[in-house]
Structure 1
Amino acid sequence: MTLALTVLTTTDSAEKAQELARGAVEARLAACAQVSGPVTSVYHWQNAIETSQEWQVLFKTTEAGYDTLEAYLTAAHDYETPEILATPVVRGSTAYLAWLRRETSAR
């Protein structure tokens, strides 16, 4: 059975977050994507501590589809070093996980 993943990225506007989400779902790189925000991010960048407002996008995909989703996010993202973090789904409802696999294998 293919492992399910959630994959997180952030961007600096709701519009960009929605574009990333829609593009991944349309290409069936993710079964769905949720946009949340704004959130406040604090981080080191170019020898300074930055604080910015960002929107998070959480993608639902499979381990088998991760590399293609990462390549899409890297190409479509306008950040020099975008946050792209994958977390394995340890448990989930059988029906939801089956749906996720069907949606991402239909490409």
Structure 2
Amino acid sequence: MSDYCIALCTCPDRDTAEQIARTVVSEKLAACVNILPGITSVYAWQGEICCDNEVQLIFKTRHRDADKLFNRVLMLHPYDVPEWLLLDVADGGADYLKWIASSLS
């Protein structure tokens, strides 16, 4: 496992996504957050099949900051159970990884 990871989280709308992104970047919990609009999520929830328009957040962070990031997202997020998936970054551009580290300290 590397020092770096990507976290995924969906939001109900762009305003919520931007609020979360701006907060976690300003608090140095994520170096960068990409906001991808216009996704459609199909999922089972409380015995029903749901289909909703959502916004995808992609957080760039370090594994050691991921728990703090997740707890902060939970405080800001309107969903009872927000998506939270961590993907290990196997490798990356050395300068980009240094930039992530410097952005989080």
TM-score, reference length from structure 1: 0.94
> Which residue is equivalent to 1:37?
37
The residue aligned with 2:79 is 79
Give unpaired runs (5+ residues) of structure 2. none
Structure 1: where are the runs of 5+ without partners? none
Secondary structure of 1:69's aligned partner: helix
Identity of aligned residues (%): 34
Question: What is the one-letter code of the residue matched to 1:104?
Answer: L
Q: 1:50 — aligned with what?
A: 50
Where does structure 1 differ by over 6 angstroms across 4 or more consecutive aligned residues? none
Partner Cα separation in structure 2 for residue 12 and residue 67 of structure 1: 22
Whichever residue aligns with residue 59 of structure 1, its letter is F
**Amino acid in the other structure paired with 2:75:** A
Structure 2 length-normalised TM:
0.96
Name 2:5's counterpart in structure 1: 5
- Measure, in 1, the Cα distance between the counterparts of 2:14 and 2:46: 25
CA distance in 2 between partners of 1:33 and 1:95 (Å)? 18
Q: CA RMSD in A?
A: 0.8
